[in-house]
Structure 1
């Protein structure tokens, strides 16, 4: 069987670049939301714990595809109304921005639990030692707690990122030209679904393998001092 892309190879590669950009943008947003959610859930403030728990529970309880549609359609309607008020009737949100918000929101909800577990795994004595040395609470967090939390959270975050990379295919339903959308366009022209969906699967697999290699490097780098201490 000849694997012929009928001139759509460059289109699929452009879709892969869009997928990478979407995944990295969603990752950056999700890490911020996840860390904020974990800090809220481990806070001594009851309202903050409610907010953190509500965020992770509600977002994780709704399929990612629904969040993509809700954010894209809901935000478009809101921006349309705002645009009419300010004299800009064409005001709208892009598919890329909506996809980033939706996937970042979902990634952050799952990352909240990963960060929360990592925070609880840091010995309380380290915080007490920092206080004994006269360090402020923010300095203790950034210099003592965060590095250890990051090392323990990396494996879980790596798994979530690989899931996020594949979830970018969901954004094709709102017209973003990532891998899946480009494959659908190619299929509509060539009537060769097996060829192009197999090519899309290969691109997703290559991105997953690359992500695994990067995560292995980051985990190894983050655990250098601990590895030597264990020996």
Structure 2
């Protein structure tokens, strides 16, 4: 058989991987925006915390951070439940994967958004306030659209790496593409074949992602290229 009966399992693993990547992306973007604002803050303490966060996360391997966060959270919960004679609370692997990946890649998005914010001419922001816009209106109408134009290449790179990093969650028991392909390979003695299948699935996901990112870049660059000609 083509997939030796593992077609539905691989489809389920693909959907799990996509969900994990999307939820992690949303949360990491939120963390990144907050981190970028903190790094650009005039308050020294806030800037220092953001710098320590980004430096630490980008210096330690993702796999090690995932293991440390997952097991430290589990140990912390056990330390609370044991003295209270409560049943052990097991961390859901999906939630743990999302939180861990978002925490890791939030540091990379912080740098992406920080650079994008700094690329927007301050004169345009000042002009927005001069027209009587509120801070929220300036952010929505002036800062955010231009910031996104500068940030999209970095967002695209981070997203591609994030998709591949979802493979790390297989070590904490989540049935993603990698976990299912490994199980299928071992049970059928076709490890190489199912590894290739997993690689093709990841390639398909990244190809579709590239098309969406290209569309977003055209949208946020509307009028810019014409103005430069």
RMSD over aligned Cα atoms: 1.5
Residue 7 of structure 1 and its aligned partner are, at CA, apart by 0.4
Q: Is the 8 A contact 1:122 1:149 kept in 2?
A: yes
Match of 1:105 among 81, 87, 103: 103
Residue 80 of structure 1 and its aligned partner are, at CA, apart by 2.1
Deviation per CA, 1:62-115, whole angstroms, max 9, x where unpaired?
111111111111111112233335554131211111111111111111111111
TM-score (norm 2): 0.94
Structure 1 stretches of at least 4 aligned residues deviating more than 6 Å after TM superposition: none
1: CA distance, partners of 2:195 / 2:86: 40
Where does residue 8 of structure 2 map in the other structure?
A: 10
2: CA distance, partners of 1:45 / 1:127: 21
Where does residue 42 of structure 1 map in the other structure?
A: 40
Where does residue 114 of structure 1 map in the other structure?
A: 112
Where does residue 25 of structure 1 map in the other structure?
A: 23
Match of 1:158 among 153, 156, 162: 156
Match of 1:76 among 68, 74, 77: 74
Q: Which runs of 5+ in 1 are unaligned?
A: none
Residue 43 of structure 1 and its aligned partner are, at CA, apart by 1.2
1: CA distance, partners of 2:153 / 2:83: 47
Q: Which runs of 5+ in 2 are unaligned?
A: none
Q: Is the 8 A contact 1:5 1:195 kept in 2?
A: no
1: CA distance, partners of 2:123 / 2:140: 16
Q: How many residues align structurally? A: 229
Residue 57 of structure 1 and its aligned partner are, at CA, apart by 0.6
Residue 24 of structure 1 and its aligned partner are, at CA, apart by 0.3
TM-score (norm 1): 0.94
Residue 60 of structure 1 and its aligned partner are, at CA, apart by 0.8
